[in-house]
Amino acid sequence: MEKPIKELLKFSIINIDKPSGPTSFTVSTYIAKELKATKASHFGTLDPQVSGVLPIALNRACRLSTFFMNKDKSYVGIIRVHKEISLEELQKEAKKFIGKITQLPPVRSSVKRAVREREVKSFEILEKRDKDFLFMTEVQAGTYIRKLCSDLGEKIGGAHMLELRRTKAGIFSENKSITLYEFDKIIKDYKSGNDGPLRNVLISGEEACKIFPKIKVRKDVVKKIITGSPIFKSFLSESPGKDIQKGQKVVVYAEDRFIGVYEFINSKDLIAKPEFVLN
């Protein structure tokens, strides 16, 4: 909160509630233009007709995408069945999809069409109205919800997804997102000299990275570290937590200064290797 707004914009994320209609790329491009960001990228594409949580990274925070894009996602939507079925029967069929499933990406998908395994953490059928059912699901990143609905339909005589909204993407949730209308008002205030509303919705990259365990190094080794050096045992100002696992992502700090995101190695003198360094 103490940083100048222009410095904050260099390494921050804004959680947008995307409306149905525009593409994720269109929305992120619009955000970048209004904030005069040199670069913007979103953490996970939403189809044009899908609404909901679309975190957009600005400038150097774009390099954090690999750390946040592959987190679990939550959705709420409507599935329309093609034959009459009771709420209880559909709930029973949906439960069969919880766990590991295999999916073939749709023809229009941007990824290679090869069967891949994904995990469905939950799949709840909540309400029924005629042939429309309200559902809620939490899935591993990269799971196609439209395909999940059609695969469920194959078990019951046909079904397709009618509507979908993303309610959560990793640490980003809909109750802390802003609509494009709210964003436009914030930009109007910002351009008139009031940066308070914009400051309130920008999430600094440092703040977002607090989901990872922290490792502290001495202040006198910062110069070596920000030029690419790994973290060695002799650099530490205190021992890392015993619950940190090898291969896990960690954030490195020198006192209150955020240094970057590292992979925890903990082998002999080598503690961690850099994956993103803020310099």
> Does one domain contain both 237 and 265?
yes
Q: Which residues are known catalytic residues?
A: 47
> Does one domain contain both 201 and 219?
no
The residues, ordered by sequence, that sit 6+ positions from 263 with a Cβ below 8 Å of its Cβ are: 247, 248, 249, 250, 272, 273, 275
pLDDT band at 242 (very low <50, low <70, confident <90, very high): confident
> Does one domain contain both 151 and 177?
no
What's the CATH code of the domain at 248? 2.30.130.10
Q: How many CB atoms lie within 10 A of CB 273?
A: 12
Tokens of 31: 């955000």
| The total number of structural domains that make up the chain | 3
| Spatial distance between the Cα atoms of 153 and 147, rounded to a whole number of angstroms | 10
> Of 207, 234, 253, which marks where a domain is finished?
207
pLDDT digits (tens, 9 = 90+) for 138-189: 999 999 999 999 999 999 999 999 999 999 999 999 999 999 999 999 999 9
pLDDT digits (tens, 9 = 90+) for 183-227: 999 999 999 999 999 999 999 999 999 899 999 999 999 999 999
> Does one domain contain both 36 and 162?
no
> Does one domain contain both 149 and 236?
no
Is residue 4 exposed (0-12), middle (13-18) or buried (19+ Cβ within 10 Å)? Answer: exposed
Helices (H), the chain: 5-9, 24-35, 65-68, 87-95, 145-156, 180-191, 196-201, 205-208, 222-226
Is residue 232 exposed (0-12), middle (13-18) or buried (19+ Cβ within 10 Å)? Answer: middle
Q: How many CB atoms lie within 10 A of CB 129?
A: 8
List the domain range (segments joined by +) for residue 141: 73-169
What's the CATH code of the domain at 184? 3.30.2350.10
| Spatial distance between the Cα atoms of 143 and 117, rounded to a whole number of angstroms | 9
What pTM did the predictor assign? 0.91
